[in-house]
Structure 1
Amino acid sequence: MKSFDALGLSPGLVQSVSLLGFETPTPIQEKAIPVLLKGSRDFVGLAQTGTGKTAAFGLPLLELIDVDNKNTQALVLAPTRELGMQITSDLETFSEKFKSFNIVAVYGGASISEQIRKIKRGAHIIVATPGRLIDLIERKTINLGTIKYIVLDEADEMLNMGFKEDIDKILSFTPEDKSTWLFSATMPREVRAIMKNYMTDPFELSVGESHTGNANIEHRYVMVQEREKYMALKRILDFNPDIFGLIFCRTRIDTQRVAEMLMKDGYNADSLHGDLNQQQRDRVMMKFRERSLQILVATDVAARGIDVEDITHVIHLNMPDEMEFYTHRSGRTARAGKKGISIAMVSRQELGKVKQIERSMKSPMKRMMVPTGAEVCQKQLIALMKKVREVKVNETEIEAFLPAVYEELNDLTKNDLIKRFASIEFNRFLDYYRNAPDLNGDRRSTSTEGSYERSDRGDRGDRDRGDRGDRSERSERPARSSGGTRFFINLGKMDGLDKSRMLEIIDEHTGLEKRDIGQIDLMGAYSFFEVEKHLSDKVLKGFTGAEVEGRQVRVEITESRGGGAQGGRSSGPSSEPTRERKRFVPGNKGTSGGSNGGGDRFHRKRR
């Protein structure tokens, strides 16, 4: 294994990398950097996310840029704002002990005028998302005619997100003699087409086989009935007290719903999906990066570009339709040489997807069982004991209080003290998980099934019976259908709305009277409302192109509250699939999950 200084990098770049704690290059860095430093050849790098691709192209790029030339010499295209910001930050960090570059990030959701000012001051390197860059090109505020190097990072992701036409247009504004460097985790035919159309005899480098994934990721799956997935999810979370995890759902509605259910059940969770505005996205991502948020529930589209260190688990609550999505999801863990776990939650009908993934990765996925209640209790108890052992004792400040503590406990033996201390936490879990049913999807015993049904109807333990009687929680759930048409709207409590303000918004845009509007269910980032069926078209027409406080509003017909789909017509923009699949019903949440377990972990709220 070579060191960074053996790759031909300048001492300043090597020093910056060393200060970041990196001593030896990753395989993609070791093989790509010497080739890219020559700066004279197109390049294609095939490697999984989390393998160090940013440094693989970033370090040679900084080496090749002429800092005395104020023209824009390099362009890096990234699929998402988050990835673009991460690349910009990395390039600035890499160059800290080297030279002073002007690196400008341009992306949507931020002030375009401020970005234009930065570019006009002179940008050696521009890191951009395709949409915002097209906007700048059309405004004639950016000149790509001086570009010497263009990097297409996560090219497969950009194409999956529908940026092919934008990429074609952007490349048409760049010089013929530029060098094009393309990095991708997978190599679908669309990426091959870019290579054929825009690259000349590229140097192709593949680190690992296509679709094999990161060798540091342990791929597991659990088999569970569809209606019990949420309960099984809570078991898995409770069985991993120190989890720092990313949970994937298929639709934005399921993403928000699962996150809200987890929050109600005491977990430190939040959601990331297309119905959040940029300020909300930034707030959620900042909490997640700082680890003040422990569980992030996301859609595939919203999670693209997430580059957060030390994610321990990726959980697929719904399996993706494409293998590429599974690869990208799982690649959010085990980054920078660390290890991670990917857990797919599948029903019996989805076992075929497990086989498909195994064939693509050329290795088996390990089946794991949904933990039993007793296993969760034991794991949580051991986690508590580990905290006791590792807690930092403030000898100076606690000393004055210890005599009173010793006096209070002087009649207890060492063993009694340990048992009582452990029971403070253990009793809560034991009460909750006592008689918890088996959730593994291939259970065949009719008595097991029967005990599950009985448990679902009332044998839940004291805490969950209390949950069922909580009117404030029940008010968040859809009631039985009144026969009207049910609409989804991408506005909710996170926008500062209450029901009266929601009524006003519906009235303002549709002209309906308040008596025409039925039940309103306000959620976090979205809501539901009902109107009489004959007024449906009026609602859709009224919200077409609508904005509320500068935010585009999307309204669409969704499932009736009785469960029947009412079609898929919509009004407003859409960047992600919005079909409503089988729902996770909040009323099932206490059957077995472990809602208020977890001890004194930092991700739990105390009740």
Structure 2
Amino acid sequence: MYDKKKFGNLEFSKKIFNAISEMGFEAPTPIQAEAIPLLMEGKDVIGQAQTGTGKTAAFAIPIIEMLNPRFRGVQALVLTPTRELAIQVAEEITRIAKYKDARALAIYGGQSIDRQILALKRGVQIVVGTPGRILDHLRRKTLRLQNVAFMVLDEADEMLDMGFIEDIETILKETPEAKQTLLFSATMPREIQVLARKYLRDPEVLSVSKDELTVPQIEQVYYEVKEFNKLEGLCRVLDTSEIKLAIIFCRTKRGVDELVAGLEARGYEADGLHGDLTQAQRNRVMKKFREGHVEILVATDVAARGLDIDNVSHVINYDLPQDPESYVHRIGRTGRAGKSGIAVSFVIPKEYRLLRLIEKIISTRIKRLRLPSFEDVFERQREIIIEKLSETIEQGKLSHYRAIIEEMGNTHDTVDIAAAALRLAFDIEGSQNFSEDAAVEFGNTGAEPGMVRLFMSIGRVDEVRPQDVVKTIAEEAGIPGKVIGAIKIFDRFTFVEVPQDAAEKVLYSMHKNVIKGKRVHVEPAKARNR
């Protein structure tokens, strides 16, 4: 019997535990905690789960744990709606299976089928693919599913929207009846329910309760930053906020350690909390934080679970959580006991869609704020200096310092003396080297002044209308539909103009998004296309 290791309340082989620990996992997400035990018992499962809830690991861990590594045939098949998701899922499975003798292969259109055939001949246990390319291999008899013990339908509702329901049924009929079937879907339309009743055996149904995903008493804001300027942006927010105690969340243990070091180097009182700390170390950190000796606690999600501290004024998402439910648990650390609280998130360009997903889950629009400027930092520090000077004057006991001022007053202006003393006491010039976030250079796209023209790989043949483009951009990028400019729809592509200051957000939000059931490629247009 191989060694077992604990992952929250779950128990895995040491090889799986070591792999997920290296990936930064510290405790199971809700969908993992519920799904994994059921799957290990051999049950079929329906999981109503959004992207970003940790569902890939929820099915990958038990599959890797239970498959036969000595048999090189396909034992698990995962269907995904897009090639991007197929690649992503296959990569995560490969990382989880790092120390197990198990191989995963992504199969999708747009890649050489001969390369895929060669990889299948060499032997793989887990195939992740799009329905169309899986069917292609079945017709060629280069993929055989008679030994499949695990069948996963990932993002089933999106596959339905893209017209894959018949392909899915054709594929399911090629698999053995005696298998475990797992179906994950953000929504449960009637067609998905019919599919589940037809192909799943007494499935257990799991879902995230939306009742818990609302925290209206907390002010929620976000700042847009570039990855390389995130720490400097955080420092600006800290310098302009009236913080009592703050908890800053990072995704990984390494991220916690690096951020604590960065903050301490800049003069902030900060300490870290993560799963590698002993209980004695954890207690020491928490004692300092509760007593106010440390005003900033940097933590991972698992380390902060169960914290109940009344005076936390700010929760800061330095890294957005992949799991929207974790966002709710994080920001719930502030606004305790009826008090107000502020939740701040830093969002880098590639996370715009994740932000929109969180907003949909919590049914709340998170307010965007402008990152504080140097002038804002200076003004806040000026207010602090005036407050401290007033308090010191009221306390008295200045005779020693007055003697120094009187002596120097013979050769220097007293205002200059006071200014020099302030400069010595409060270094307020150190932040001036902050470089503003560099905007993406779109160049000349052939748009009207102040606008950027974007190319979209969808057109009349896809039955797309201008209102479809406007609605999707407005919803996904979070900009008013009225600011969207000229839209020109051709047979197989579309041009749309958006304001220059929103162009980067639209680009990241819309690229690989879905309009009218089709995955769309978006890029800046070339001026010659005009």
TM-score, normalised relative to structure 2: 0.49
TM-score, normalised relative to structure 1: 0.43
Greater relative CO (CA pairs within 8 A, separation 6+) = 1
